[in-house]
Structure 1
Amino acid sequence: MKSIFSLILVLLVSTSYGQEINNSSYKDISEGLNWRCIGPFRGGRSAAVTGVEGKPMLYYMGSTGGGIWKTKNGGNTWENISDGYFGGSIGSIAVSSSDNNVLYSGGGEVTVRGNVSYGYGVHKSIDGGRSWKHMGLENSKHIPRIRIHPKNPDIVYAAVLGDLYKSSDDRGVYKSINGGESWEKVLFANADAGAVDIIMDPENPDIIYASTWRVRRTPYDFSSGGEGSALWKTTDGGKTWEEISKNEGFPEGTLGIIGVTVSPVNPERVWTIVENEKGGIYRSDDGGETWENTNSDRNLRQRAWYYSRIYADTQDENKVYVMNVAYHMSADGGKTFSTHYAPHGDHHDLWIAPEDPKRMIIADDGGAQVSFDAGANWSTYKNQPTSQFYRVTTDDAFPYRVYGAQQDNSTVRIRNRVDWGTISEDDWESTAGGESAHIAIDPENNDIVYGGSYGGFLTRKNHQKNQNRSINVWPDNPIGYGAEGMKYRFQWNFPLFFSPHDSKKLYTASNHLHVSNDGGESWEVISPDLTRNDPSKLGPSGGPITKDNTGVEYYCTIFAATESYKEKDLLWVGTDDGLVQVSRDGGNGWVNVTPPGLPEWSMINSVEIDPFSDGGLFVAATSYKNGDYAPYLFHTVDYGKTWKKITNGIDENHFTRVIRADPNKIGLLYAGTESGLYISFDNGNNWEAFQQNLPIVPITDMTIKHGNLIVATQGRSFWILDDMHLIPQYMEKKPWHLELFKPADAIQMGGSTKESKTEGQNHSGGVRVHYFLEKELAEDDTMSIRFYEGQNLIRSFSNKPKKDEGELGDPELGTNLLVWNMRYPKADKFEGMLMWWGTLQGPKAPPAEYSAELFLNGERYGTGHKFKILKDPRSEGSEEDLRMKFDFLLDIRNTLDETHDAISDMRLIKSQIKKMNELIPEGKNQDVVDKGNDLDSILTEIEKTLYQTKLKSNQDMLNYPIMLNNKLAHVASLASMSNDRPTEQMMLVRDDLTKKINEQLQKWKDIKNVEIPAYNELIRNGKINVIGLPEE
């Protein structure tokens, strides 16, 4: 039998060579652990986009948390181009108009909402984004604008907004004249007001307008405006600046954020959008000397701090665009505006092509969209895996679903894997709650889901009946109010969870802990106020110009909570004002057990039960909203009486959002930070980066399910690590030379390694086998991996495959991955064979125990490893039924294999007969000729009975009916459709077709065993010259 077997082979290359691997440094062997992004492919917030002049299909997007993306087909698909270099939040991106291979990126978004992420300074590419170099300004935190000199890409300006949470001198407008190698601060307002917008005069690049903005966030407040907020102009390339917001006609009083643009058609025409008590659109027709208020419509300037961007049309000096919830366009110089909508709302950036103002790209809370007709139509945002998720949880369905709330969109539940192909939009749907939710799934019914949202909003969704019900603890809408007047203070992202000991007990938390035993129909308060309850931090948020009370800044609330699955009634809560409280009696009594090393007013972001300690808890806290970016992780084993800080090895600026403990391996911990993932093998005493192919992105939450580590990110959707079972194996032994790791048990379900730019990565399916190579194989070394059921060899894969062996490829240094799709070898196929709805696939190995073994030069290496293939839980058939199905399909496979080998052999015989007849001179050896012709006729009739020989194209079967082999293969296709035993009719048809096939095969065997030898004897007796010249 030929080795025609469906194999997925992935070689994941390690950078190690000859290193000794030990328990505390396993990077070299762990390179084989790869993450996959499951989606959803539904864009998250973007505030930075640009196109390229003269290249109508080429655009760039900077996402908030997800790095930089590029489309070369007008927004149909997007590809990340910053992975491997940097990541995080992008505030600006610019392309040089004189050399469009030169790009500059500024980190840190301008949309400084409650979950804002900072960036990592300036990066530059000189090859269109294929590679990047860090160019400094690493303390900038937020760079909302970069502008490049139109004729010299080495001259570049960066608007640095700076740290949102504390005063800093690292603010203002910076200029580089050497391509970013060094920077000079050319404009500085003060330590609390940074630069937010820059625009160049298109005719004279030494004329520049810039705005500065005083903005500050605290854990409990947000302010926009004040001293330092201003509009500036330079006419000498930044050497000197004039504050032109003091000029005639500009609004007086406190200024906030200011957006500015210049008409490329008439550079004397300058527009601004101004946050002010008398704010709105202000226009100057004399380069900023005087100003006129042309429009004060609040639709253009609502929630000013979040928008306030303005853009001049590239060919019409009277046309101007303003970004807000919708985007607005004026064609009369800013006097009146029409309202327009892109596919998503909340717009933050716009680029208009200089040569064609109908061509544009817009950035909003759904990512980026491209238009070629001035906004009449836009590309989709449902092709960008840049969703921002707050939390993650899973249900108990199969395949299990991953749940989370996407900022600026709905909640989501998405399958972690599917039977084939990629994880598409068909595999996810919205669920309970809103954009900021914690989600809890009914332990007894995966289709009843509970979800929260800001303002204390709580819903219960029944997916089976498509019904939603509001179950707020206290349905008094707080929008627009500060926290001081609330009966219960619910944070933007408040906890929601079921008791692990009582499937009816649902908890949620405000500044109190609440419990419901009737699905949210009624609620009981089971704690006092567990926060600091500081009145000075409970006032309205916003100002000094505009209030902004959405609930993001509601403070002194419970932010993390759980009930121990090890001990009933053991409750832990962590507050956003820095307290840890514990109750051991179901909430009747509480003890403040806050770790003494935790800074005051920190946020307890997550709490995690220690699986191996009855009184154990891990805590992840952040204090970045107080201007402290350090990691804070703590561990207690005595119910909070004592604590140990466990952050050694984590970067001092990677603040920690979440910690999770492996439930199967003591000491194995995972920590999610603002800048990636870490792992510890010794209960947090030491940490190492654990990034693999996971992008640099804020990790907001993690959960562990069925040996998978699932992470929620703030800017790159959901990611899954399928092979967690390898990590404890990596911890057990040193040094590694040549090693086959124990595979995880596999489920008899399909999968795919197909990659897509618009859909999530599926699980590969099959049995995933990892093996490690410390040194290169010698040229004559033969390595193979073999699979057995008992002593029966099922399948072998080799780097030098022989007949019946699969292709292992060339094993690389480090960790390699072989995926066996669980199938036995397929039936042979002869040349030119066509079929209509019939399968030659070998059957999948049935549920049972198997083993994998590694061989080097024919010798078994190590002891091998046992694993199980498990029944698909969705299967309606029993394991006995599946074994019967396997036997049935294997029998068909064997019959087809024998049939097709016979057809190949018969064709070979016929070709040899034809050649023999051509060698015999006319009129001689007639007995040989006649015998050969008779054999040819008989063989032709046998083949025509087994296979339709007239088939030449894929739909010829509609004209020439299929024959026995196709009919039998069709029965195999039908039996393969379900995970159950074959029907009685299938078995009857199989038996009937097999009988008919065997009759033909017996005729062939008789010819092969009797007639062919007789034919050969005639040839010998006829003394036919096989080699010779034609007679003359």
Structure 2
Amino acid sequence: MACFSLNLPAVRAAVALLALQVMAPALTAQARAVTTGLARPSIDTTVLGRLAFRGIGPANMMGRATDVEGVPGDPDIVYVGTATSGVWKTRNGGTTWKPLFDAQPTLSIGDIALEPGNPAVVYVGTGEANVRNSVSFGRGMYKSTDGGASWRFIGLGDTRHIARVQVSAADPRTVFVCAVGHIGGPNTERGVFVSRDAGETWSRTLFVDHRHGCADLDMDPKNANIVYATMWHFDRKQWTFTSGSELGGIFRSIDGGRTWSKMKNGLPTLIGRAGIRVAPSSPNVVYSIAETRVGYVWRSDDFGVNWKMTSDNAATLCRGFYYSQLRVDPVNPDRVYSIACQLSKSIDGGRTFTQFSGSIHGDHHGIWIDPLNPSRMWQVNDGGIAVSNDMGANWGFPQSFALAQFYQVHADNREPFYFLGGGLQDNGNWLGPNRTREPQGILTDDWRLVSYGDGYYQTSHPENPDLIVSESQGGWIFRTDMKTLEQQDVSPQPRRNDGGPVNALEYRFNWNAPMVASPHDGRVLYFGAQVLFRSKDFGSTWDIISPDLTKNDPSRQGFAGGPVLKEATTAEYYNSLYSVTESPVQRGLIWAGADDGNLHVTRDDGKTWTRVDRNVPALGAEAVVSHIEASRTAACLAYATFERHFMDDYKAYVYRTADCGATWTNIAGNLPDGAYLQVLREDPRNAQVLYAGTEAGLYVSVTGGGNWFRLGGNLPAVPVHEVLVHGRENDLIVATHARGIWILDDASAIQELATAAAAPKAHLFRMRTATRFATKTTKTPSLGDALYRGTNPAYGAIIRYHLASTPDSATPVRVEVRDSAGAVVRVLHDVPRLRGINTTSWNLAFDAPRQRKPIDPSDPSVQFFGPPSGPRALPGRYSVRLVVGDMQIEQPLTVRLDPTVTVAPAALREQFVMAMQLRELQSVVNDTLRALDGRRGEIEARKRAADAIADDGGRAASRKAAEELAEVDELLLVLVKPTTIPYYSDGPRIADRVGALLRTVDGTNAQPTGPQRALSTSLANELRAALDNVTRVLGRLGITM
């Protein structure tokens, strides 16, 4: 073992210091920019691939799940399909869940099917079949043969929406697909498809016409030749939808799906969406829940030949186009479950139904009942998933993963951490922090419900972030004080707007009516109907500042739905404003876009308006103005996005104007089909950077729209409905309509990507201000794994840099933190060194005390307290230096104190001095322990050698070594508690007490207390005495340090 030299006089001098004059001086270093006379090279955007977003939830209320499938008799494995978040799987009965489908080009799931007897074979039909106004789309069929670990596309890519997939129990190579098809136009890939070779090839065997698709399908479990399917005419437009026809209805095949006959006996001729289910225990019994005018639940007792209506209970259907599903108990053919706004069950063969799902979210879309244990059931709804083990009497709601479907999001400026608020599909408006002081992260109870409904826009008062105005469907807005919980309806049209056609109302508010605050005065709100409302007092009063800005077509303002049933939820209210914004550059320059394609601008605060959509080139009819973004760089510079997917056009339409709409330039460029835009944002720090929230993920341009790339990393290609860059923190905030809110902490790597690409060797990105704050666990940390934990960002300063190439192993790469005088505060050696963008962080701490031995992550103290850390740096100005070989690049860094904490600078300086003293004490005792460990190892080696000598000399040498070992162990016992002693069996020693005091002194932003000062002095004296004893004992033994 190498000999360790310890200079005890120097140690004693260090320990005797009463104060260390160390503080953070003012920063003098400035960023050193790299300049070049060469033309800008092409930008490699793949270097952004390692940028990691963090998901923060919420998981209190999830989002729409569409299907659930379990393994018969196995309570552990369950698959869940979702509207926009892909396929999830649990292997432990719902405690934890894992996404399986993130690498696929679509995450909208219609149905999942497991091969009977071999659940490792999984089929997924993509494209949700619950074709509401916010439905996403799919891209065909996928198959896994390893339980979802990998997937393969197996065809039917143009079906767009798949309602059902079934695998034959008699022949697992036979697979049926029930495809709805396009919902906004005709197509041929719809109806019932059959594969006889496990998905390798497909044949369409049931097809009505180009506008009818398949709504449901089921097979006789005892006779694979008998198959039932329901055919459905559906067409959706922005202002209405059509559901039902006389050509649709229930069809049956008795030859394994090769030929089909329409079932008519006892059934009405006009049928909308219909669900179909065979009773597993008595397959002659077949049920259908159908959208008709004469009843909803139908039953056949002779394999579908003859039917009778058993129930006209409207609750069993609720909204036919959105539900129309049922299930039959595996062992009791008279126990039937209807799946609609609420779950209902019948125990008398479908004649009477009672609701039984009051404790969980409504709007249900599926149930899986374990055929080997019918008491166990899983179900999916607009609020996520639920499980029951007592046939639905009681329900559990897993909250371990986030499926929240945000429509809009707002970020406030509260300190020290901003909060985010926004609306969720069918789950109200919520408010939660972007990070917490809790080491566990952001938990479900950190999120608070602001208001009910289908949540949309939300904004907070600029002087009181707890005063919030939030909006739900159809123009219903509330002002809520989150401290007092007082809530007031402040809608300009204070009434429930649903239940009738929009032409029955004075004002036509969209399902997703725009409500935004003025960038010049956050108390000023704009709210769009067919006219634009403005409030100057945060919603107390409203004025109209425009005429009707829509096409005002009365033929499109009646009831939606038909020809079977009407619909009036406000989801199809039309001729209404859909996007509103005011220029940040010029007060009173306001843009207003409508769902019918009209786009207006006013430059005089609403006195006069100019229609400018006629100037937009190559834009088809019936386009929706999905978003308008007014630039921060020039008053008349703006961006407009349009979408036409309900016209069966899934292209991206993105335009730029520099003259207030007189002319427009198409900048959609290479955005792919399917990536139609929900939002476009201009980066506030670099106007060349544009963020596009699309139905197919987040896209970015760093060339002002010249070209686009998908920003992925760990963020899958889910629908993105809102994007923001936080003004203070520079965070890129992404509101997904699938997985809740995701945050890229500090967007400087994107903002400076062009500059980084031009740097020949390396580029260090600017850093945002780092905040020093206290962390503490105030919530029970031992709540198990079935709990969602949103990720906090790394504590301290996030440091990113770009390397043009991966350096060789001989080239040093490190990050140095220095004070303004140039003194080194911290050196980070173990940092990423790969080509592209690399991320590390500085936790605002000086180096940890010198250690006795290498840090063991499995050490219980490390697991409980975290790895050793040095004292935190004082607030002030610092510089960060990136060193790559002989190249050095610097950027300034400001460290601020938590602005909600009041403490005098002198008190922080005293705390810092004591913490540095304690760090030195800890280093000295660890140096001593390490030296004693070395001496002990040498003595043990001598004893082993002596033990090998079988004479009196050897025995004497062994005894002497044993005595020396005992004396060294006594010295160690004074300094540190042995790990061999149970934790509570003996008290702490000097090293333990110094470490504990360092943690408590440095763990807050406060002046040390009198007892802490006294203990610090006492520990220094104890250590001095212990070191004197070490010198004396080792000297007596003739052992040198």
Normalised TM-score (structure 2): 0.88
* 2:434 paired residue number: 416
Match of 2:520 among 501, 508, 511: 501
After superposition, residues 185-264 of structure 1 pair within 5 angstroms as 185-244=204-263, 246-247=264-265, 249-250=266-267, 252-264=268-280
518-527 or 183-192: bigger deviation: 518-527
C-alpha spacing 1:235/1:475, structure 2 compared with 1 (3 Å): same
* Superimposed CA distance per residue, residues 931-963 of structure 1 (whole angstroms, 9 cap, x where no aligned partner): 99999898777666554569712222xxx4434
* 1:850 paired residue number: 878
C-alpha spacing 1:1003/1:725, structure 2 compared with 1 (3 Å): same
Aligned mates of 1:865, 1:516 — CA distance in 2: 44
The structural deviation recorded for 1:779 is 5.3
Match of 1:876 among 895, 902, 911: 902
The structural deviation recorded for 1:39 is 1.0
* 1:93 paired residue number: 112
* Superimposed CA distance per residue, residues 761-790 of structure 1 (whole angstroms, 9 cap, x where no aligned partner): 221223333345555554555543333334
* Superimposed CA distance per residue, residues 600-657 of structure 1 (whole angstroms, 9 cap, x where no aligned partner): 3321122112122221111122111222211111111122222112101111332111
C-alpha spacing 1:21/1:749, structure 2 compared with 1 (3 Å): farther
Aligned mates of 2:958, 2:337 — CA distance in 1: 89
**8 A Cα contact 2:388 2:394, kept in partner:** yes
* 2:88 paired residue number: 69
1:824 is the counterpart of 2:841: no
**8 A Cα contact 1:214 1:227, kept in partner:** no
C-alpha spacing 1:775/1:321, structure 2 compared with 1 (3 Å): same
* 2:97 paired residue number: 78
**Structure 2 SS opposite 1:306:** coil
2:394 aligned partner, one-letter code: N
C-alpha spacing 1:266/1:834, structure 2 compared with 1 (3 Å): closer
**Structure 2 SS opposite 1:769:** strand
Match of 1:296 among 309, 312, 315: 312
1:391 is the counterpart of 2:413: no
1:892 is the counterpart of 2:909: no
**Structure 2 SS opposite 1:449:** strand
1:955 is the counterpart of 2:974: no
C-alpha spacing 1:943/1:296, structure 2 compared with 1 (3 Å): same
**Structure 2 SS opposite 1:288:** coil
**8 A Cα contact 2:427 2:452, kept in partner:** no
The structural deviation recorded for 1:318 is 2.2
**Structure 2 SS opposite 1:369:** strand
Aligned mates of 1:391, 1:423 — CA distance in 2: 20
1:570 is the counterpart of 2:598: no
1:748 is the counterpart of 2:766: no
Aligned mates of 1:838, 1:285 — CA distance in 2: 67
C-alpha spacing 1:759/1:929, structure 2 compared with 1 (3 Å): closer
The structural deviation recorded for 1:104 is 1.1
**Structure 2 SS opposite 1:283:** strand
356-365 or 195-204: bigger deviation: 356-365
2:748 aligned partner, one-letter code: H
C-alpha spacing 1:697/1:189, structure 2 compared with 1 (3 Å): same
**8 A Cα contact 1:119 1:142, kept in partner:** yes
* 1:803 paired residue number: none
**8 A Cα contact 1:435 1:453, kept in partner:** yes
After superposition, residues 841-990 of structure 1 pair within 5 angstroms as 841-855=869-883, 859-877=885-903, 881-906=907-932, 909=935, 946-947=975-976, 952-956=981-985, 960-990=986-1016
C-alpha spacing 1:934/1:301, structure 2 compared with 1 (3 Å): closer
**8 A Cα contact 1:261 1:310, kept in partner:** yes
Aligned mates of 1:68, 1:951 — CA distance in 2: 48
1:402 aligned partner, one-letter code: L
C-alpha spacing 1:694/1:909, structure 2 compared with 1 (3 Å): closer
* 2:352 paired residue number: 336
1:545 is the counterpart of 2:564: yes
Alignment RMSD, CA only? Answer: 3.3
Normalised TM-score (structure 1): 0.89
| Uncovered stretches (5+) of structure 1, i.e. residues with no partner | 3-19, 799-806, 1020-1032
| Uncovered stretches (5+) of structure 2, i.e. residues with no partner | 6-37
* 1:786 paired residue number: 816
After superposition, residues 569-718 of structure 1 pair within 5 angstroms as 569-594=588-613, 595-597=615-617, 598-705=619-726, 706-718=729-741
Aligned mates of 2:674, 2:993 — CA distance in 1: 67
Match of 2:795 among 759, 762, 765: 765
**8 A Cα contact 1:43 1:386, kept in partner:** yes
Match of 1:405 among 418, 423, 444: 423
C-alpha spacing 1:312/1:835, structure 2 compared with 1 (3 Å): closer
Match of 2:552 among 496, 515, 533: 533
**Structure 1 SS opposite 2:1038:** helix
Aligned mates of 1:870, 1:756 — CA distance in 2: 36
Aligned mates of 2:888, 2:513 — CA distance in 1: 51
Match of 1:486 among 494, 505, 518: 505
**8 A Cα contact 1:433 1:450, kept in partner:** no
C-alpha spacing 1:402/1:765, structure 2 compared with 1 (3 Å): same
The structural deviation recorded for 1:863 is 3.0
Match of 2:449 among 413, 430, 433: 430
After superposition, residues 130-169 of structure 1 pair within 5 angstroms as 130-169=149-188
* Superimposed CA distance per residue, residues 814-851 of structure 1 (whole angstroms, 9 cap, x where no aligned partner): 44333332322322454799989999531123333333
Aligned mates of 2:680, 2:588 — CA distance in 1: 22
**8 A Cα contact 2:379 2:385, kept in partner:** yes
**Structure 2 SS opposite 1:165:** coil
* Superimposed CA distance per residue, residues 205-257 of structure 1 (whole angstroms, 9 cap, x where no aligned partner): 2210000111221111122212332100011122211000x12x22x242111
507-516 or 936-945: bigger deviation: 936-945
**Structure 2 SS opposite 1:891:** helix
**Structure 2 SS opposite 1:430:** strand
2:643 aligned partner, one-letter code: T
2:600 aligned partner, one-letter code: Q
**Structure 1 SS opposite 2:503:** helix
C-alpha spacing 1:694/1:49, structure 2 compared with 1 (3 Å): same
**Structure 1 SS opposite 2:321:** helix
592-601 or 679-688: bigger deviation: 592-601
286-295 or 880-889: bigger deviation: 880-889
1:720 is the counterpart of 2:738: no
* Superimposed CA distance per residue, residues 64-122 of structure 1 (whole angstroms, 9 cap, x where no aligned partner): 01111111112222111001123331111111104322111111112111211111111
**8 A Cα contact 1:158 1:174, kept in partner:** yes
**Structure 2 SS opposite 1:712:** strand
Aligned mates of 2:314, 2:943 — CA distance in 1: 96
Aligned mates of 2:667, 2:676 — CA distance in 1: 13
Match of 2:488 among 463, 469, 477: 469
C-alpha spacing 1:381/1:943, structure 2 compared with 1 (3 Å): closer
1:841 aligned partner, one-letter code: S
The structural deviation recorded for 1:55 is 2.6
